[in-house]
Amino acid sequence: MIGQAGPTTGRTLLYVPGSSFIHRINPLTKLVGLAWLAASIFMLPPTGMAVITAIAFLFGVAAGAGRTFVKRFVLTLLPLAVALFVIHGMLIERDDMVDHGLISLSPAGLEYMFGIFMRVAALLTVSLLFVTTTHPAVLLKALDSHGIPPGVAYLISSPLLLLEPFSARARAIRDAQQARGLDLTGSWTARAKAFPALLIPLVTLALSDLDQRASVLDGRAFRARRFRTVLDAPPDHPWETWARRLLLVAIPVEFGAMLWL
Amino acid sequence: MALIDVRALSFGYGAAGPLVLDRLSLTIEAGERVAILGGNGSGKTTLAHWLAGWLPRPGMEPRGGEMLAEGRPFPQWSALDRATAVQFVGQVPMQQLSGFAFTVYDEIVFGPGNLGLPAEEIRARAEAVIEACNLRHLLDRDPFTLSGGEQQRLSIAAALVMRPKILVLDEPTGNFDPESRDSLLDQIRRLPADLTIVLCDVALKPALAVAHRFVLLDEGRIVADGSAHDVFRHPAAAAVFGVPAVAEAAALLRAAGRWPAAAELPLTLAAATALFREAAAC
C-alpha cells in the first residue's frame, strides 16, 4: 500500500525501526502504559524500580534498541550518578559519616542517592522504550484515529518536523550576519553583544512563518471538522482497549492508596 | 455569475500604509487560465492572496470595494467550502508544507483527511495527483528533505487533491532551474480543463506556457487585459519584462525586410516557427 511502509522504516529522532512485540503495540496503549509506570515508580522501593529498569532495558534490547539505551544511559545516568554520589554521599553532612581515608561517606546518604538514581533510571528507561519503538507518525495516526483533537496531534508533530528547517534557518542567518561583519569568534562579551543580531531575525522570520503556515492549514481545512479521516491507522486489539482502561483506573487508585496508607 | 468578481478593490497593509491594490476590478470565469503579470511590488502576491481567500482577515480589511467568489465574499464561506473552492500555491515551497506529515504521501492526504472524506476516496484522489505531479518515487520521503522543485510539485499535488475549482499559483517556478521549470509548467498545462488557473508571475515564460488570458498589473492597477500581444504592446510590459529574445530577433529580421510587416512579432519560439512555416508555404 502506498506510503504505508515509509513512516516506520526510517529513523526519526530516537525511533529504531523494527517489528518486535513492543513495536506492534498500539502507541496509545504504550502511552498509557508509560503513564502508569511513571506513576507507579513513585510508589515502589528502589529495588522495585531497579526491576522495572531491568525489564524495560531487556525489552529495549529485544526491540533492537540496545545501543540507543546504552548511549543514553552513559550520557544521562553516568553524570547523574557521579553528581548524586558526591552530593548525597560526601558533601551533605549526616550523622553516620564513615571515614574511608581520603573521603568520608554516609551510608544513609548513599541509600537516599540510590533511591533518587533508580527513580530517574526507571523513568528514563520506560520513556526510552516508548520513543525507540514508536514512530511519531504512527503516534499521530493513533491519536487521530481515537478522536483526539487534531490540534493536539499538531502540537506533537510540528516541533519534531519543523526543528530541522528552523535550525537550517538559524545557520543561514548566522552565516549571513558573519558575511556582513558580525564577530562570532571573539570574547564571550563580543558574542553576547552579537546575540541579538542572530536572535531578532530568527524570531521575526519565525513569526512571519507562523502567519503563513496558519493560512496554509486553513486552506487545507485543518480543524474544519472535529475529526479527521485517518489512513493506515495502527491496529488496536480489544485486549489493548481493556488494558488501557485498567491502567487508567489503576493510576488514581494507586495514588489514592499511597496517600491513604 | 462570474467565478471571481473583484470590484474596485482598494487595499493596503496597515491603517496608513500605501495602497497595494488601487480600485482594481477583475472578473474571472470558470475554466479560464489567467496570467497576472507585473514587476516586483506591482501587487501580484497581494491580489493572489485575495483571490485565494487568505485576505481579508481581521486587521487587514479592504479600504474600498470587495471580492466575490460565486457571488459571495470569502468570509461568508465555511472553512470546508473555501478549502474545496480555492487552493493557493506560493513562492516559497517549504512554507507550503503543513508541518503535520512525516512523509510525502501523508502530506498529500492531509487535506482530504481534514475534509472527512471516506478513506477509499482519499486514496483515489491521492493516486491521481501523484501521477499528475510525478511524485511516486518520493512518497516515503520526509517533505522537508525534498529539493525546492520537488517540494513545489508536492505543494501543487496537496492543492489539487482538494479538487478545487480555482488554483492560484504565485510565482510557482521562481526558484527553479530551466529543466525543472519546463517540467512543472508542462504538468500544470496538462491539469483538467475545467480547473480555473490564476498564475501570478514576474516572468513571461510560465505565463505563455499556461495562460490564455493575460493581465498586466502596475502599481496595484490593471493596465492591460487581453491576449499576450495586447499585454506586450503596453509600454509597461517592455519596461518590466524586456522584449522576449525571439521577438527581438523577429524585429531585427523585419528591419532587414525579411519578416512579414503585417504579422505580429512572435513571443514564443513555437509562434515564430509557425510564422516561418506559413511564410515558406506562401
Tell me if B98 and A227 make a contact (CB, 8 A cut-off). Answer: no
The backbone torsions φ and ψ at residue B10, rounded to the nearest 5 degrees and listed phi first, read -120, 130
Tell me if B114 and A150 make a contact (CB, 8 A cut-off). Answer: yes
Tell me if A3 and B162 make a contact (CB, 8 A cut-off). Answer: no
Nearest-angstrom CA–CA distance, B49 and B170: 9
Nearest-angstrom CA–CA distance, B224 and B213: 11
Tell me if A3 and B111 make a contact (CB, 8 A cut-off). Answer: no
pTM for the model stands at 0.82
| Nearest chain A alpha carbon to B88 | A219
Tell me if A220 and B158 make a contact (CB, 8 A cut-off). Answer: yes
Domain positions in chain A: 9-143+233-260, 148-219
All 3 cell numbers of residue B263? 504579422
Q: What is the pLDDT along chain A (261 residues), one digit of tens a residue?
A: 334 444 455 556 789 999 999 999 999 999 999 999 999 988 889 999 999 999 999 999 999 999 999 999 999 999 999 999 999 988 888 888 888 888 888 999 999 999 999 999 999 999 999 999 999 889 989 999 998 888 888 888 788 778 777 888 888 888 888 888 888 777 888 888 888 888 998 888 888 888 888 999 999 999 999 889 999 999 999 999 999 999 999 999 988 888 887
**Residue B155 pLDDT more than 60?**
yes
Nearest-angstrom CA–CA distance, A260 and A248: 19
3-state secondary structure chain A: CCCCCHHHHCCCCCCCCCCCHHHHCCHHHHHHHHHHHHHHHCCCCHHHHHHHHHHHHHHHHHCCCHHHHHHHHHHHHHHHHHHHHHHHHHHCCCCCCEECCCCEECHHHHHHHHHHHHHHHHHHHHHHHHHHHCCHHHHHHHHHHCCCCHHHHHHHHHHHHHHHHHHHHHHHHHHHHHHCCCCCCCCHHHHHHHHHHHHHHHHHHHHHHHHHHHHHHHHCCCCCCCCCCCCCCCCCCHHHHHHHHHHHHHHHHHHHHHHHC
Tell me if A7 and B80 make a contact (CB, 8 A cut-off). Answer: no
State how far residue B145 is from chain A, nearest Cα, in angstroms.
Answer: 9
Taking residue A21's Cβ as centre, other Cβ atoms within 10 Å add up to: 11
Of the CA atoms within 13 Å of residue B46, those in its CB half-sphere come to 26
* Tens-digit pLDDT profile for residues A153-202: 888 878 877 877 788 888 888 888 888 888 877 788 888 888 888 899 88
In chain B, what residues touch A153 (CB-CB under 8 Å)? 100
Nearest-angstrom CA–CA distance, B107 and A231: 12
| Nearest chain A alpha carbon to B55 | A215
Of residues A62, A63, A61, A40, the one with CA closest to residue A52: A40
Q: Using CB atoms, which residue from B80, B86, B140 is nearest to A224?
A: B80
| Nearest chain A alpha carbon to B111 | A220
All 3 cell numbers of residue B5? 468578481
Q: Using CB atoms, which residue from B99, B102, B113 is nearest to A12?
A: B102
All 3 cell numbers of residue A157? 508533530
The angle that helices A150-179 and A188-219 make with each other, rounded to 10 degrees, is 140
Q: In what order do the strands lie in the sheet with B4-11?
A: B21-28, B4-11, B64-69, B72-73
State how far residue B125 is from chain A, nearest Cα, in angstroms.
Answer: 13
Tell me if A229 and B79 make a contact (CB, 8 A cut-off). Answer: no
Q: Using CB atoms, which residue from A213, A219, A221 is nearest to B88?
A: A219
State how far residue A178 is from chain B, nearest Cα, in angstroms.
Answer: 24
State how far residue A174 is from chain B, nearest Cα, in angstroms.
Answer: 20
Tell me if A220 and B111 make a contact (CB, 8 A cut-off). Answer: yes
Q: A with B: how many residue pairs have Cβ under 8 Å apart? A: 135
State how far residue A153 is from chain B, nearest Cα, in angstroms.
Answer: 8
DSSP element (H, E) containing B9: strand B4-11
What is the complex's ipTM, to 2 decimals? Answer: 0.84
The residue to which cell 462570474 is assigned: B2
- Can you give the pLDDT at residue A10? 54
Tell me if A225 and B95 make a contact (CB, 8 A cut-off). Answer: no
